[in-house]
Amino acid sequence: MNLLPKTYKEFGEKDYWNKFFKNRGNKAFEWYGEYLELCAHLHKYIKQTDKVLIPGCGNSSLSSDLYDVGYKDIINIDVSEVVIKQMKAKNAHRTDMSFLHMDALNTTFNNDEFNVVLDKGTLDALMPDDSAETLQRIDSYFSEIKRLLKLGRRFICISLLQGHILSKLIDFFCDKSWLFRIVRCHEAEEKSAESEEGTTLPVFIVVATKFKECPRLILEVCMAGEKMQSVQSTDELKAIIKSVQDTAFVTNGLAKADLDEDDEVCLDLIQPAESNPRYTLYIINQKKYQTVNKYAVFIVPQGRQCEWLFGTPAGRRQLQDSARFGRLVVACLNRGHQFPSLDAVKDELAHSAKMLMPSGFSGQIPFLSLGDIGSRSQVCSGESSSGPYVVEDVSVEGVMYRRLVFLQHQGLVQSEARLKTVKRKNKSKLVVDFGAISLYHSIMTIGLHLNDGISGEVAVFGLGGGGLCMFIKKCYEDVKVTAVEIDGDMLTVAREYFELEVDERLEVQVKDGLLFLQEETDAGNHYSCVMYDMDSKQHSGVSCPPEQFLEEHALELLVEVLGTGQFILNFVCRDKQIRESTLDVLKKYFKHIATVKLVTEVNEIIFATNGETAYDTQRIEAAVNSMNQAARQKKLVKLKCLDMKDVFDTLCILK
């Protein structure tokens, strides 16, 4: 049985609608929402004492539902004699409500007779296209509505607002004699999403209030929540509606299609009148679990979206493996917003979660979390030559961390320091725990022990918050650290917010790293160890280091200043071909190369040297033990900085 029109033109054909309602019988087909979905909006704009006209009533139960809650003065009209007979019989006991066989384009009512004209889908049925014939018909319809409405009263139109329909509404009603408002009806969309009768499309309620003349054109929209947003032009109004509809097409496609297991879709949720996304959603499918647990939403605690598990495709895939859901939506809470509670976040995400449900899912949507929404407080913000940045304190499982993040790359933490509480003069204070360095910094530091002795000068390219430099300074008394940082503001940030101590044993040179290499080569200076821990702002395949530092001229300078010392590279690359070609280049300049890849991060630490002693497992094991012992002796850690397993699980001696 074909219940929906076979072609869009049949929307406006009288014979089709006669057959349509005869086939449906008494069963209402509420594809624009039923009373329960619409009532919260309708009650705002219709008083129980209002005289209401419903043109093109069809067999909708909307008028009877309104009648039963106190709206008695309702007149329904329709061009189909069949449906009028059906509705009269069905509503015989509702004695104050009328059903009349009448054409909405040419009614017999008096001027200014109605307080409200309520159109649910009729305009969409009358306007399948924007042909001259159709436009003439709609002009008659709108003119009739204008004639019938009293001043200060409303035309309420429930519509899908196809482009040509919205344009016609704007042409007729967007002048100073009407207040024009469009509200999105999420409730109707969610009801449709729960059924399997068809594609879910955004449902809009247009409210045009008739005036003699307003001082200016008044346009308003409400696409989410309760607050109206003032719109400055009809072009802006059209753009807002189109954006909502385009998003709906994406979510409809997600509901009906299976994503490839290696793919994920990313959507931003933005509040009206704001540009900064409040949430970022990642949608991931996994077919092997679809018959067990079909769908869930995982809420990432704020501040933790930078972690590998939540901030990378591979991490989110692992999260889905653990959660065991066929489709998992990973919801990240973005900085710059306040989130009062986990329940409040669930409420805000509820509509989007329903719109992203896979086909065939029913029931309550599980919301997963780690117990709370976490905490994130901004310590400072600014803009340097590298771009805008923030320093923020984030709580992770009860432990506080201070993070430096560049806003152009919000998924990456530039620097991180764990904080600890100390008591001074009976007052508690959070300070940086210099012994709690990151895993990749711990692995980089064992490179110092791969030399014959721990002494001399170490150059660290990329200061960040200074965590690596401070650990080396605190741990090794016979080492002088020279940090090279191109962004002078980062030195200020490191000193003020990460407790960097600059003195005769820790020097910071603010300059381009390539210039530093050239100057040190020209001066004949040598370093026992050179560490590259700098990110690339280009992020074209390689995130660390900037690609110019791996070019031949830069490597020639590096080899010159190193002599037989150790080169330690924090290498972040998501492109396998670039990784292989980079290693091939390094093999041309260094006799010995070894790598350690972090299992739960994107970092890979590369060790390279032109010293006589080759890398082997015994030598690297001894380096790990020596570093842990040095950190214990300086009371930077109680037991160890680095587990042997973190190195040897992925250690690869290449040359």
Give pLDDT tens digits for 439-483: 999 999 999 999 877 778 999 999 999 999 999 999 999 999 999
What pLDDT is attached to residue 26? 42
Contact yes or no for 370/305 (Cβ under 8 A): no
Radius of gyration of the chain (CA): 34
Q: What is the mean pLDDT of residues 583-601?
A: 91
Range with lowest mean pLDDT among 21-25, 358-362, 639-643: 21-25
Q: How confident is the model at residue 262 (pLDDT cuts 50, 70, 90)?
A: low
Convert 315-369 into a string of H (helix), E (strand) and C (coil).
Answer: HHHHHHHHHCCCEEEEEEECCCCCCCCHHHHHHHHHHHHHHCCCCCCCCCCCEEC
What pLDDT is attached to residue 461? 96
What pLDDT is attached to residue 260? 61
Q: What are phi and psi of 181, to 5 degrees?
A: -135, 140
Q: How confident is the model at residue 6 (pLDDT cuts 50, 70, 90)?
A: very low
| Distances in whole angstroms, Cα of residue 629 to Cα of each of 220, 355, 439, 624, 643 | 67, 55, 16, 9, 12
Q: By percentage, how much of the chain surpasses pLDDT 70?
A: 90
Q: What is the mean pLDDT of residues 548-571?
A: 94
With a cut of 90, say whether residue 248 has pLDDT above it. Answer: no
With a cut of 80, say whether residue 373 has pLDDT above it. Answer: no
Q: What is the mean pLDDT of residues 220-231?
A: 85
For strands 295-300 and 327-333, give the pairing: parallel
Helix 617-633, helix 467-475: angle, nearest 10: 80
Q: What is the mean pLDDT of residues 399-422?
A: 84
Range with lowest mean pLDDT among 161-175, 416-430, 440-454, 474-488: 416-430
Diameter over CA atoms, the chain: 103
What pLDDT is attached to residue 413? 79
Q: How confident is the model at residue 22 (pLDDT cuts 50, 70, 90)?
A: low
Structure tokens at 500: 């960097």
Q: Same CATH topology for 8-24+35-250 and 439-653?
A: yes
The number of CA neighbours under 13 Å toward the Cβ of 459 is 22
With a cut of 50, say whether residue 21 has pLDDT above it. Answer: no
Contacts of 185 (CB under 8 A, 6+ apart): 33, 37, 38, 41, 158, 203, 204, 205
Q: How confident is the model at residue 412 (pLDDT cuts 50, 70, 90)?
A: confident
What pLDDT is attached to residue 196? 53
- What's the angle, vertex CA 122, arms to CA 120 and CA 124, rounded to 5? 105
Q: How confident is the model at residue 18 (pLDDT cuts 50, 70, 90)?
A: low
What pLDDT is attached to residue 182? 95
What pLDDT is attached to residue 425? 76
Q: How confident is the model at residue 7 (pLDDT cuts 50, 70, 90)?
A: very low
Q: How confident is the model at residue 167 (pLDDT cuts 50, 70, 90)?
A: very high
Instruction: Identify the CATH assignment for 8-24+35-250 out of 3.40.50.150, 3.20.20.70, 3.40.50.300, 3.30.540.10.
Output: 3.40.50.150
pLDDT in tens, 69-102: 999 999 999 999 999 999 999 999 999 999 999 9
How far apart, in whole angstroms, are the C-alpha atoms of residue 433 and residue 252?
A: 49
What pLDDT is attached to residue 450? 92
Q: How confident is the model at residue 386 (pLDDT cuts 50, 70, 90)?
A: confident
Structure tokens at 642: 């680095």
pLDDT in tens, 106-152: 999 999 999 999 999 899 889 888 899 999 999 999 999 999 999 99
Length, in residues, of the chain: 655
Task: Give strand pairing partners of 285.
Answer: 327
With a cut of 60, say whether residue 199 has pLDDT above it. Answer: no
> What are the domain boundaries of the chain?
8-24+35-250, 257-368, 375-432, 439-653
Going through 102-171 in order, the beta strands assigned E by DSSP cover 114-120, 149-159
CATH no., domain 439-653 = 3.40.50.150
Residue 395 CA to its chain's centroid (Å): 21
Q: Between 273 and 344, whose confidence is greater?
A: 344
Task: Give strand pairing partners of 419.
Answer: 432
pLDDT in tens, 476-490: 999 999 999 999 999
pLDDT in tens, 504-547: 999 999 999 999 999 999 999 999 999 999 987 665 677 889 98
What pLDDT is attached to residue 29? 43
